[in-house]
Amino acid sequence: MTDLDRTAVPDAARGAAPPGAGDPGTRPGSPVLTVVLTSVAYFMVALDALVVITALPSIHRDLGGSAGMLQWTVSAYAMAYGAGIITASALGDRLGRRRLYVLGLGVFTTASAACALAPGLDVLIAFRAVQGLGAAIIMPLGLTLLTSAFPAQRRGAVVGIWGGVAGLAVAAGPLVGGAVTQGLDWHWIFWVNVPVGVVALICSRLRLPESYGARSRLDVPGLVLIAAGVGVLIWGLVQGTQEGWGSAPILAALILGAALIAAFLAWEARAPEPMIPLQLFRAASFSAAVGAQFLMGATIFSATFLTSQFFQFARGDSPLGTGLRFLPWTAAPLIVVPIAGALFDRVGARPLVVPGLAMQALGLAWVAWLAGTSSGYGSYVVPFVIAGTGISMAIPGVAAAGLNAVPPASLAKAAGVLNTMQQFGAVFGIAVVTAVFNAHGSFASPAAVSHGYRPAVAVSAGFSVIAALTALGIRRRTAMVMRGS
């Protein structure tokens, strides 16, 4: 996530009108204030992708629900987030970036309050999806507003701050969720967004300059087909273990989902202004990067989703204790990603990404083995460090290689594809490992949780192995030629 945003910056803002264009009543914004406002909002939406992870057992005890239902508190957010990114960018160019960004803050803040007040799991899931839509607006338009406030020669530094915020949110998510849940109540992981969101909304409306981009036709059929296809397919995967894979509704959902995705690809091949230009995939490096990005999202989110429940239900750890135990794993990007990003320019993506994803797979496989023993937490530290270091090596290389493989004019859409696929990968990964968990275990007892956790987290490790093999398709030299480096 961090390096994807950093690499996408120059062309994401290309073609924007000068600050204040089209809105004479807006005073030029302070660049420093722009950094603060967009970074705070981005921290909020990035944090909420993972903050709920360590609160899931408390939510389960309070609202009930099966493992299949619980996963939707994470997946509904990620799916709506991923589905809305490209559309939000296009609408911002047409309607005004600040105007839509403020709307996104309003949607996210209101949905956060609604999540805190949710009387049942179904209502919570519904408003988590609305939260995700708000996040889908905030992320791309915040990045564009930020880059529009600075000249090209200063954008690298300010977006480095933006990327660092994302890394901090990933590291802090499980810890903040655990601390707030244990110290107050799970409802407060959503309430804390409300005052921050209100202040950010008011200040953004008053102080951020307006800007517009090149107008393009919205690919409404493409949006409907991909959102419906992914939604139906994921629903089928989630419900399959509960209703039976041979049941008529599940088979119908899987077939319909696959048909809708096929229809989406057919439409995109002939659409005048496609949401995802399929010609981008003619570049082997871009295709490999998209596949690796999808599988990385599947690995990271599925493993954290499972491990939070394992520590609390099987090992009896508190929410705060669970968040602290994640740190050797989730804090690694703060240290390793900047180093890997610097090495990328010298050695290319493949020498970093392939070994990194293999290390992540090794670390998770080691954790799966330890879960079947009576080992104390200290035994988990080394595999967590290995997994965290590995994924941190891969994060900047995959994103940068994918963007370097496309022509400059397509950079913004390529960035949208990579971000979207990361979110869809998260939804897919959680759905698959939940199905595996349900097939082998349950929440009935600590032993039952362990029996389900071990094969499920082994599947997460398998995602990382497949991602490493996919990343072998990244070609550094070809990518550099296409970018004219």
Say if residue 83's pLDDT is above 90: no
Q: Is residue 467 over pLDDT 70?
A: yes
The domain ranges of the chain are 1-214, 276-485
Q: Please name the fold of domain 1-214.
A: Growth Hormone; Chain: A; (1.20.1250)
Euclidean distance between CA atoms 455 and 459, whole angstroms? 6
Q: What is the pLDDT of residue 180?
A: 78
- For the chain, what percent of residues have pLDDT higher than 90? 12
Closest CA to 422 of 83, 137, 167: 83
Instruction: Please provide the average confidence, as pLDDT, over all residues in the chain.
Output: 77
Confidence at residue 340, expressed as pLDDT on a 0 to 100 scale:
73
Tokens of 115: 């999540």
Per-residue pLDDT at 270: 85
Question: pLDDT (tens digit, 9 = 90+) per residue, 303-331?
Answer: 888 887 788 888 787 777 777 887 888 77
Q: What is the pTM of this model?
A: 0.74
More confident of the two residues 7 and 416: 416
- In this prediction, residue 110 carries a pLDDT of 94
Given a cut of 50, whether residue 12 has pLDDT beyond it is no
Please report where in the chains the tokens 């799991």 appear, as a residue: 121
pLDDT given for residue 162 in this prediction:
61
* HEC-encoded secondary structure of the chain: CHHHHHHHHHHHCCCCCCCCCCCCCCCCCCHHHHHHHHHHHHHHHHHHHHCCHHHHHHHHHHHCCCHHHHHHHHHHHHHHHHHHHHHHHHHHHHHCHHHHHHHHHHHHHHHHHHHHHCCCHHHHHHHHHHHHHHHHHHHHHHHHHHHHCCCHHHHHHHHHHHHHHHHHHHHHHHHHHHHHHHHCCCCHHHHCHHHHHHHHHHHHHHHCCCCCCCCCCCCHHHHHHHHHHHHHHHHHHHHHHHHCCCCHHHHHHHHHHHHHHHHHHHHHHHCCCCCCCHHHHHCHHHHHHHHHHHHHHHHHHHHHHHHHHHHHHHCCCCHHHHHHHHHHHHCHHHHHHHHHHHHHHHHCCHHHHHHHHHHHHHHHHHHHHHCCCCCCCHHHHHHHHHHHHHHHHHHHHHHHHHHHCCCHHHHHHHHHHHHHHHHHHHHHHHHHHHHHHHHHCCCCCHHHHHHHHHHHHHHHHHHHHHHHHHHCCCCHHHHHHHHCC
- At residue 412 the predicted structure's pLDDT band, cuts being 50, 70 and 90, is low
Q: In this predicted model, what pLDDT tens digit does every residue of 452-465 receive, in sequence order?
A: 889 999 999 999 99
Is 287 or 91 the better-scoring residue by pLDDT? 287
Is residue 338 scored above 50 in pLDDT? yes
**Residue 8 above 70 pLDDT?**
no
pLDDT 10s digits, 189-219: 888 888 888 988 888 888 877 777 666 677 7
Q: What is the pLDDT of residue 165?
A: 67
pLDDT at 470 > cutoff 80:
yes
Q: Span 388-401, mean pLDDT?
A: 81
Q: What is the pLDDT of residue 360?
A: 92
Give the pLDDT band (50/70/90) at residue 15. very low
Highest mean pLDDT among 248-262, 303-317, 354-368: 354-368
Q: Which pLDDT does position 461 carry in this prediction?
A: 94
Architecture of domain 276-485: Up-down Bundle (1.20)
Q: How confident is the model at residue 34 (pLDDT cuts 50, 70, 90)?
A: confident
pLDDT at position 21 is 40
Question: CA 291 → CA 16, 148, 285, 388, 440, distances in Å?
Answer: 30, 30, 10, 20, 28
Res 114: pLDDT = 93
Q: Tokens 């939000």 identify what position?
A: 88
Place of tokens 């089209």: 22
Q: Give the mean pLDDT of 154-174.
A: 62
Average pLDDT over residues 349-364: 90
- Reported as a pLDDT band with limits 50, 70 and 90, residue 7 is very low
The answer to whether 431 and 234 have CB atoms below 8 angstroms apart is yes
| Residue 215 near residue 93 (C-beta atoms within 8 A) | yes
In this prediction, residue 190 carries a pLDDT of: 86
Looking at residue 424, its pLDDT comes to 79
- What is the pLDDT, as a whole number, of residue 236? 78
- Of 181-195, 336-350, 354-368, the range with the highest mean pLDDT is 354-368
Asked if the domains at 1-214 and 276-485 fall in one CATH topology, the answer is yes
Query: Which residue has better confidence, 157 or 112?
Result: 112
Distance, in Å, from the CA atom of 209 to the CA atom of 26, rounded to the nearest integer, reads 6
pLDDT exceeds cutoff 90 at 66: no
Which of the two residues, 123 and 142, has the higher pLDDT score? 123
